[in-house]
Structures are given as C-alpha cells and as structure tokens.
Structure 1
C-alpha cells in the first residue's frame, strides 16, 4: 500500500429513524497513515460513523473528504466488517478477487500469503475457521489497494489467542504496508494494541470524551505494558460529559 489518505470528517447532524439525533457537530481529522481507534460502548454510533466514512450511508448533514475529495467521488476504502461476509460459493482466492475483479489470481494468492493463508486459496468458506475467515476478509479489503482501511470490530467473538494473533498480523502488515486505518472497537485493549491515536465516544448525541495519542514504542508482550492506555480509555468512558 502507498502512504495513507488524509481525512476530514464533519458531521453536522445525523439522525436515526424516529428522529433521535446520533451525531451533532462532530469533527475529526485523520492524518495520512494514522491508525485511529474509535472506542466506546456498543450502540454508541461507532459503526454508523464508519459507514458514513465509507460512503455507505449518505443520509446526514455535513461533509466527509478523503484527500480533499468528497467520499462519494473518492476511491472506495478497504472495509472489514464484523461478519466476514464471504460468498459461500466462492473459494478463498475468488472471495479476495470479488472486491476488485481486476486483481489477478496471483495477486490474490499473494495477499492470502500476507495474512498467513498460504495454500488456502482453493478452500471454501464453510471449511475455514473463524480466524481464517477473518483473514480472508482482511485480504479482500487489501485487494482494493486503498490508502484507507476501515475495520469494524474485526476481533469480535474470537477467542483470546486468535485475537492476539490477528492483532500481531495487523501490526506487522501496517508496518510493511502503511495505510490510514480507522478501527472501531468496544474493547480498550484492541485500541491500546493497534492505534497511534484513540478517540473515546460516549452519549447521545455523541460526544468526544477523550482524544489522545499513544506513546510509542509500546510493550505489547503483557497486558501491563498497555495498562495506562486502557485505564485512560476506561476513565474517559465513565466521565464524559453529556452533550
């Protein structure tokens, strides 16, 4: 991947069905190649904000630009959903190519290799473990060669060992192939492990409870190595003012 994209996110107003206002006067800027984590409780609006950034939901007042281009006119970002959403009738390599049909079979196989799935190209989704399916979904997102990668709860419902393995995989991939990343998670440890910058969201309309950079290098070998970051996230979530 090339150097990541710059984002300017201005959501003046976003209402849910029924009129409940989710976002009002929310403004975020994301620097090129920054890994930004949006953290907050389930239902706070993190995934909705990600859909706005992706251009999948245009029912809002405001402007979102990627490299100064409005989202609707910008190249599509890579997107990893909570559910891998693999096409069950396609093998792994064809699922990777489904996001970008012009990607060659060789390129798709190379992407599967990057995520640790060498030799799995002919495997159908029902034969993949949960972790393998998530990695195919990640390879599919990378196939777009986008400078922006959106990750919506990529580790949800996985066991602890697999979560650690996928965090390491993502860290390694981003070190070798920088991109701008927006990670959505309700788990503080995900943000502490991966992010350069963390934004804690709370309440409705959503307020930014905290916005801070993570000191690097960080010690990922033990939970204690990231405990200060986790505590700050948890503290912000408890003390955020209501908007």
Structure 2
C-alpha cells in the first residue's frame, strides 16, 4: 500500500465504517475497487482525506485493509471506535498519544469508580443470557451475546442498571457490546480528526450500517450522513429522519453511491 501524498489544503473529511459498510466478507474483493478510485478522485477534486472509523482493533483493521486489497493507506484510522492513528511518511501507523492516553485514562477512572455497577451488569447478563464477558488489554469491559435476540433483553437492562452513571457509554454492533466512556466513540473521534484538519461539520461525510455508528451519523459531528442498504432498520430510520442518504446498494457499492450523491462522483 502506498502512503498518501500530503494535500496542500484539506477541505473534506470522509469517514467510513468498515465491517458491514465498506467490507463485505462474501465478496471478492471484499471492498470494490471502484471505492478506492472514487476516494482518490475526491482527494484530487475536493481536497478530501479519508479514513476508517471502526470497532476493530488496530492489528485487525490493518488485516482488513490487506484483505480488501487497499492500494493506498487511509489518511487516518480510528480503531476500537476511539483510538486515533495517522500514517507517517514511511507508511508506519503512529498513535495520537495525547488523545489515546486521555481516552484510556478517563475510561480506567470511570470503570474503577463504578466497578460495582459493571459487576452487577456482568452478573445479570451472564445469568440470564449466557453471554460471554470480555476483559482484556484495550478492552476493559465488553460482552458477546449468543444471539441477536439476547441483545434485545440485554440492552434495556444495561440502560436501567447504568442509569446513575451519566458518563458510561456503550457501543453495540450485532451481538457485540463494548463499554466505555460516552465522550469517546466514533462521533467524537471523527470530530477530533476533523479538528486536526480544520474541517467544519458541514464538510464532513460519514457512512455506517449498525448501532455503533449512531454518534458518527449525528449532525453534531457530521454534516453529510449516509447508510448502505444492508444497514439495521433503526439506523436507516435515523438517517432518513435527519435528511441523510439511504443507499439503494449495500456495502462498498453503497458507499460509492453515497459519495456520488453528495459529491457528484
């Protein structure tokens, strides 16, 4: 993968969820080549930078880029919905130490203060649904439900138990749920990236397909919002209600369609 050439002026920031949005595991290649051609043209014609905004860990995100046959590195990468990385001139990914450390510190402090509530959530969820609880480096609290239907029981119970913790946030994607700090998610991460480039809200584009994309597709963070045809119904309704673009095509083809809608590509 080539390192993107620096732009004299960045005028647009493009943010793409990966799994379910760009990436279709049943397709070959998993991301259509047309997508990469489109973002390359937008770079030239609109001064656009683009990046992944994903729930994947950094190593897993890079694996996805290789699998997708990505010809050029993105300009930035948001991993675990909150960690920021930028490529240097040698193509090595450099973490944004200030943002990432502040994020990790705030999450650690929050979880330490409210460990009893998290323990209660863990106890009830595992007892009633048999979900798997996750605690590991970089993932201090999360779970994997056995079925989508189980999540319909889990989410209302989590909301009820966490009602007295205003700073506790969570990100759901299908049967996966990640707990964190409400100030660090895909939307705030995109806003932080855009602020580095000095790009206002109305010049930011984002597309996603699942529950963990709601904050990224919020007018407070993004001026141009879209979702592919394969998105969950709740997100399609959210995008429609805000006057965003609901694609006719799914996955990467939908992303190309959405870019064409907003930028005439």
Name the one with the larger helix percent.
2
Q: Shorter-chain TM-score: what band?
A: 0.3 to 0.5
- Provide TM-score, normalisation by structure 1: 0.37
- Provide TM-score, normalisation by structure 2: 0.35
Specify which structure has the bigger relative contact order, considering alpha-carbon pairs within 8 angstroms and separated by 6 or more residues: 1
